[in-house]
């Protein structure tokens, strides 16, 4: 059984320490997608991070595998290694060139979304004025489909996410997003969005971030409650896990770009009253008890296994080919 964490964050620094990923692996995770950049990060930084992360993985083949297909993940699990993929949070790193999608895919980026909280020339963000998919955005959606990359609508505005799911020829995922019916927050999803994701054949992966769960100390139980809501609304085959844990490291920050304004990207009006300082995450060890927590909501062991990885395996196998 493959356990799949659809989104996690290391410091956006080429020398980031991968040991937190080892902790994830020891807790049962077989595949994790880690962020290599967001809309606010310049391409020079993203390329530096990609080079550094790829070098770290290549230097420790006994521990890590850079996964490009489902077989890589299955082989890594069989040999006791952690399979890793990369994701981009936003389309600004494409420099308005849809052709950049294929380049990032060659470098190990296996999923991306089109806006990070704010509007851009491609898509609308969840903390901005409603904006649908732009003409350039439709080209980017087609490029992501053609590259065999997972289409991720996390951080994307409601209207735009619906446009993306309607335009995509492949299943669409939310790698780290929660039901708005349980916690009203701009980053969370309406039932309409969840249903549209399921209709595409996709998966809504529940985040473990405290403000999206409305829990000061998030736990496996909190995550399971949100996953169960998705499963009860659209079927268990459309629920997954993306805890979105940010592994902060002393003395190593994300190297924010010049003139970076955190209040723009994480507006106080949306509840980020102290930037990201008040955010908490479930302990890594939550993965060890997550199956029991899911079963406590009424799922069978087989259904819990789908949520913990089986559903994302199905979608990735279809999209990655």
Mean pLDDT of 233-257: 85
pTM of the prediction? 0.96
**Domains contained in the chain, CATH given:** 4-320 (3.20.20.140)
> Please, which pLDDT band fits residue 142 given cuts at 50, 70 and 90?
very high
Q: pLDDT at position 275, please?
A: 42
CB 161 within 8 A of CB 196: yes
> Please, which pLDDT band fits residue 256 given cuts at 50, 70 and 90?
low
CA 227 to chain centre: 15
The two tokens of residue 154 are 């996390």
Q: pLDDT at position 270, please?
A: 83
**Residue bearing the bigger pLDDT, 156 or 264:** 156
What CA–CA distances, in Å, run from 299 to 130, 182, 292, 305? 36, 19, 9, 10
Position 63 pLDDT exceeds 80: yes
Q: pLDDT at position 279, please?
A: 78
Q: pLDDT at position 255, please?
A: 57
> Please, which pLDDT band fits residue 271 given cuts at 50, 70 and 90?
confident
What CA–CA distances, in Å, run from 256 to 37, 87, 208, 249? 11, 18, 24, 15
Mean pLDDT of 259-279: 74
The two tokens of residue 243 are 């805890």
Mean pLDDT of 299-317: 98
> Please, which pLDDT band fits residue 263 given cuts at 50, 70 and 90?
confident
> Please, which pLDDT band fits residue 236 given cuts at 50, 70 and 90?
very high
pLDDT tens by residue, 209-233: 999 999 989 999 999 999 999 999 9
Average pLDDT over the chain, rounded to an integer: 94
DSSP label at residue 122:
S
Q: pLDDT at position 257, please?
A: 67
Q: Choose the weakest-confidence range: 83-97, 110-124, 269-283.
A: 269-283
User: Which candidate, 85, 208, 194, 192, places its Cα nearest to that of 148?
Assistant: 85
> Please, which pLDDT band fits residue 268 given cuts at 50, 70 and 90?
confident
pLDDT tens by residue, 26-58: 999 999 999 999 999 999 999 999 999 999 999
Of the segments 143-157, 244-258, 273-287, which one has the largest average pLDDT value? 143-157
Mean pLDDT of 247-263: 73
DSSP readout, 30-52? -EEEEEEEETTS-HHHHHHHHHH
Mean pLDDT of 82-111: 98
Position 258 pLDDT exceeds 80: no
What CA–CA distances, in Å, run from 235 to 181, 218, 318? 16, 24, 19
């Amino acid at each position: 059984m493959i356990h799949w964490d659809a989104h996690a964050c290391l410091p956006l620094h080429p020398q980031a320490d991968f040991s937190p990923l080892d902790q994830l692996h020891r807790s049962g995770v077989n595949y994790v997608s880690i962020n290599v950049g967001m809309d606010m990060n310049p391409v020079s930084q993203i390329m530096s991070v990609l080079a550094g992360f790829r070098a770290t993985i290549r230097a420790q083949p006994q521990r890590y595998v850079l996964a490009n297909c489902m077989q890589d993940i299955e082989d890594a699990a069989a040999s006791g290694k952690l399979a890793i993929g990369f994701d981009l949070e936003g389309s600004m790193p494409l420099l308005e060139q849809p052709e950049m999608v294929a380049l990032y895919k060659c470098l190990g980026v296996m999923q991306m979304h089109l806006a990070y909280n704010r509007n851009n020339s491609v898509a609308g963000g969840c903390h901005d004025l409603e904006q649908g998919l732009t003409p350039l955005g439709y080209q980017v959606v087609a490029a992501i489909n053609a590259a065999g990359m997972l289409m991720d609508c996390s951080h994307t505005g409601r209207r735009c996410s619906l446009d993306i799911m309607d335009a995509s020829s492949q299943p669409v995922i939310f790698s780290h997003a929660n039901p708005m019916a349980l916690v009203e927050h701009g980053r969370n999803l309406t039932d309409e969005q969840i249903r549209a994701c399921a209709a595409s054949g996709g998966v809504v992966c529940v985040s473990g971030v405290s403000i999206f769960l409305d829990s000061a100390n998030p736990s496996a139980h909190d995550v399971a409650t949100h996953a169960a809501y998705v499963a009860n609304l659209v079927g268990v085959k459309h629920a997954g896990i993306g805890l979105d844990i940010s592994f902060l490291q002393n003395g190593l920050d994300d190297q924010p770009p010049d003139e970076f304004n955190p209040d723009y990207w994480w507006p106080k009006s949306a509840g980020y009253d102290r930037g990201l300082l008040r955010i908490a995450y479930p302990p890594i060890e939550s993965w060890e008890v997550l199956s029991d927590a899911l079963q406590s909501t009424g799922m069978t062991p087989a259904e819990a296994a789908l949520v913990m990885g089986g559903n994302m395996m199905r979608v990735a196998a279809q999209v990655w080919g």
